[in-house]
Amino acid sequence: MKTDSQSDGPSIRAAANTGRKNDDAGNRMISGVVVHFAMRAWQMDQRSTKARSIT
């Protein structure tokens, strides 16, 4: 029985690691999109405040 659990251990660990890597990549992509939209919103805000200050 010990040999079974030992052979299972590494594969389970590997699966957990690949899952974690995929999560990291997904989170990085999501945060990148969020940052992109935040920057765009900030730029639009800057433009609108400039337009307001000119008038």
Per-residue pLDDT tens for 4-48? 555 566 777 787 777 778 788 888 888 889 999 999 998 888 888
**pLDDT of res. 48:** 81
Euclidean distance between CA atoms 53 and 55, whole angstroms: 6
Tell which residue, 46, 25, 43, 24, has the closest CA to residue 35: 43
**pLDDT of res. 6:** 55
Predicted TM-score (pTM) of the model is 0.43
